[in-house]
Chains A and B, each alone.
Chain A
């Protein structure tokens, strides 16, 4: 124990003696360790962020959309058979479904006075709001009679409000879509970006009856999508099975035939986004790990220089009784101390950067404990591995030759 402490003290002195060189060597390890720690923390942070946004989007949301079918090699052209009646049937019959909303949308130009905005115009029902987690922040929700009467009313998102009305109050104002004017009755509470980068405030909502009558003329009851919410995050799978059974029956689809609808849940989005983030993290960590490797080679390089430069010192030590093992230990410990110093400072700087990044992005980023342990272990291992060859070279020196060295 005391021998190891003495070796560490000796190593520290040798390191302090050539400050500039040691600093540069340490820098290599430092950058590597910091890079690894930051990348892993960012990966974990992005993961958490995406998952948070997905659950903010509604973890139990289920999207039902039409899908073209193939019969005897002929792809059907009239694909969409989803209706509001389907939605009502699901709500009535599927026990694991809490709510269903019809949904249709199109890109359209919306005009107010001398301003205009190109946005998504969506036909929805009042149930759309709780299903997708929207709420009306200012003004009012559509009334039931407005829905029945296909009234010309809209609720607009924050982005649309800003484009059309600037600082003004939109409630009670009129916007024109196509040939018809619509009265703005409400303003959505801002939701910001979705995990997929979509601006969730860039939308105009109107009763789906109004949408079918005036924006995209379509048969009564027809919807582009049905958006359902399961009763609980855990009942999503059961709800999907129920939807499948009910819609197959309603659409008269044989048990082994392809359905004319598709179902997608947030679990799938979640899985794919987890995969993407995971792959990215692995990729970036490997790049960071390469920089750690380069740092290790830097340690080896400097240790080789150091051994060559201190040949005479090695000779003296051997002459007065140092064994090969003593010399080996001395240089190995020096390499390890160099790398561990790099590791510690790398962790410190990594932690600082993570904190600054977390603050700047508004994410809660934490120094990942496994990464901390891995970084420390790696830097020690680097010291041993890359210090071994130079240390061995020192230990195998012939004291006579070493002493003669000027």
Chain B
């Protein structure tokens, strides 16, 4: 068929069609769509930010202003009195340190345990792996109140009641199933061919895990670390029941000391203390989010 085409025509380059500007109507539609997307995003952001912004506003209001029937976003007479009261009345900084230690340790340990476990469950398919995955799902169905008394008694026998390491153990056990579940999906996304290539280059299983899989799991590790940290940081009931010594209590427990019976609360200091309690989580997130996003955009499996 091509033989019938004259040589001059064959040699002449075909003109490349230039992208035509979209018709005005389509352009308008696209712009309206984008505006709608931003509007929806803005609504979502406002929805997410509202409680935090209200918390900030409440923390800087005086008791009289908190009793006003016309609440305003901006405090009419901003005060630091609530922060002073909160810090004077309760050992907030010490409690924050306790929370930081417990939540940090729990997050690190649970991820350290979950990484090899998730790898094994994904790569070594078999009855044990399936049973393990099933158990992870089933364990999520136990309500906390069913496990607390047996757990309390086990910890008592291990002399881990009223100890921060005991609380770390509980948090690791409590967060591990979900952390494991999260990490499995990240491990599954790492192509087996990369590991096979590493094996051909002479890497053993451990070296492959350390040098090939782990760097590719970085975003997943960061996400699970953050999940485990925030879960442990916010947890209340285990900390309430397991820690007796006032000096060992965590932030979530200390915050309840601003509340009384039947919903009564010292609202201003409670808001101030709660605001202080959110700072470490925000800092932790700020530090790690770059790594979270960066990890997604780099490495062999990008795109």
The answer to whether A binds B is: no
Residues of chain A having any CB pair with chain B under 8 Å: none
